[in-house]
Amino acid sequence: MVITVNISDLGTSNSNEDKIITYSLGSCVGVSLYDPVAEVGSLIHCMLPLSKVDRAKSKIKPYMFVDTGLQAQLKIMYDNGATKKNIVAKVAGGSKLLDKKSLFRIGERNYTVVRKILWKNNILIENEDVGGTKSRTMYLVMETGKTYLKIRGEEIEL
């Protein structure tokens, strides 16, 4: 089954027949987590770095923000038997405009918060494709635990 993750949402699976996919990551970040032992995987698509900008919103939509979203994603992983030691984390997105003056740093800030939270959880990012001005599609194939990116029609493994 294909599980589509909308913006500000999470998809999770423990079936090796599933593929979890999210489209059009602009400055948003996608984080895929996979535990090969527990055979559980998940993908989030977060738009903004910190929930403090709109607390009420973060209550209804925790996955809109990296801080609340990634923590909730990790909890779901742990609840499903995943361990810090086994989780494979991959990150994509965080694009920016052609913006020499750095007027908009939302993508960069999103990525920084991802790193911070994973670091606190003792999880290293295995691979990442962040920054630039591209829009990315990201998906996790549960059968292999591999994460792929699709950028302008081209597919690459992350």
Partner 1 sequence: MSRRNEIIARIQTVPSIPTVIAKIEQMLNNPDVSFKALSDLIKYEPGLTANILKIANSAYFGFKQKISSVQQAIVRLGTERVHELAIASSLAPIAHSSVKGYDLPAGELWKHSILIALGGEQIAKMKGIKPPDSVFTTGLLLDIGKIVLGTFVEIDVNPIMDLAFKKKIPFDVAERRVLGIDHTEVGAILLKNWNLPEEIVNTVRWHHQPSRAKQNSLLLDLVHSANIFAMISGIGTGSDGLNYRPDKEVMKRMNFTTEKKELVISMMMTGLNDVQDLLSLGLPDKSKK
Residues of span 112-151 touching partner 1 by CB under 8 A: 132-135
Region near partner 1 per CB under 8 A, out of 32-40, 42-50, 81-89, 139-147? 42-50
Tokens coding 63 = 């996955």
d(CA 66, CA 152): 25
Residues in the chain: 158
Bridge partner residues of 146 (DSSP): 141
Catalytic residue flag (residue 46): no
Q: What is the dihedral sign for C-alpha 25, 33, 61, 94? A: negative
Position among 91, 96, 130, 140 found at the interface with partner 1 (CB under 8 A): 96
Choose which of 10, 13, 19, 27 interacts with partner 1 (CB under 8 A): 27
Instruction: Find out whether 32 and 43 touch, Cβ atoms under 8 Å.
Output: yes
Instruction: Report, as residue numbers or ranges, the catalytic residues.
Output: 28
Binding site for partner 1 (CB under 8 A): 7-8, 24-28, 47-50, 53-54, 57, 64, 93, 95-99, 101, 103-107, 132-135, 152-153
